[in-house]
Structure 1
């Protein structure tokens, strides 16, 4: 007896989003590796420059667990790009402070991130680009803002980095 194969009635949205996200991450990783950074290191540098933030706050912004955050900050410290310091407002708290060299690296890494995004979006006509970005923004802040309960969805949604 031959099993009936269900017919697809819509494009495979999961594949399209997963595949494009994976390829974008690999391109971003390769581009940032040219200056010795990972995407996580870039994220920490940029967010630490925006405001005085603790390691926990930066981990939340970058969707990193504690262990990953510690490893990331250790790598930034070793490279001389950031350092752990006491907070100026709460002596019990320690913040991640970006060094002068780290600030310059963050500026360069943001240029790289912007260039990778532009290379991807630049393949689309302006009207499609605008529609895609608006639609993804609507999904990310609306229907797909929060993962489903249960179903092994342990990751928290990442805060949007502008």
Structure 2
């Protein structure tokens, strides 16, 4: 027997945002895979192109942890799309530089990303698109602009060994 969901007084916004985000990420991953990129690789190339940014700065822009950023940069270097170089502004810092081939691939990936977004938004009438995008901007710029700290798991007090 299937459990019935309780009657709701409000739409399940969490489900709608999670599901649409998951489906959009899946479509994006499939489309970018056609040119051998992941969404993270695209993100790094797009944000490093024409800028002098460190791995740490790019990781923050792409919402990646350090380990994920290193793995992503290793893949970009192996593919000849980006390289780590000394910064021209700070000898101690290393920046991510996009190669000529990386710039070409970044232009193609931008077209792919734009196409996937356009296809998703084409499901809405033009006037609905405008309202939807304004509403999403207000949501992420307002209440959802910053996440509250995640609650930690409750831990038992340490007991003395006797």
- The TM-score normalised by the length of structure 2 is 0.89
> Secondary structure in 1 aligned to 2:97?
strand
CA distance in 2, matches of 1:112, 1:149: 35
Q: In the alignment, what sits opposite 1:34?
A: 34
* 1:82-119 residue CA offsets vs partner (Å, 9 max, x unmatched): 00000011111000000000000000000000000000
Structure 2 residue 114 is the aligned partner of structure 1 residue 139: no
Shift of 1:50: 4.0
CA distance in 2, matches of 1:134, 1:151: 31
- The TM-score normalised by the length of structure 1 is 0.89
Structure 1 gap segments, 5+ residues each: 153-162
Aligned residues: 149
Q: Which stretches of structure 1, 4 residues or longer, exceed 4 Å deviation after superposition?
A: none
Structure 2 residue 21 is the aligned partner of structure 1 residue 21: yes
Root-mean-square deviation (CA), in Å?
A: 1.4
CA distance in 2, matches of 1:129, 1:9: 26
Q: In the alignment, what sits opposite 1:126?
A: 126
Q: In the alignment, what sits opposite 1:159?
A: none
Aligned positions of 1:61-72 closer than 5 A: 61-72=61-72
CA distance in 1, matches of 2:77, 2:8: 51
CA distance in 1, matches of 2:94, 2:50: 16
CA distance in 2, matches of 1:49, 1:121: 26
CA distance in 2, matches of 1:150, 1:82: 34
Structure 2 gap segments, 5+ residues each: 153-162
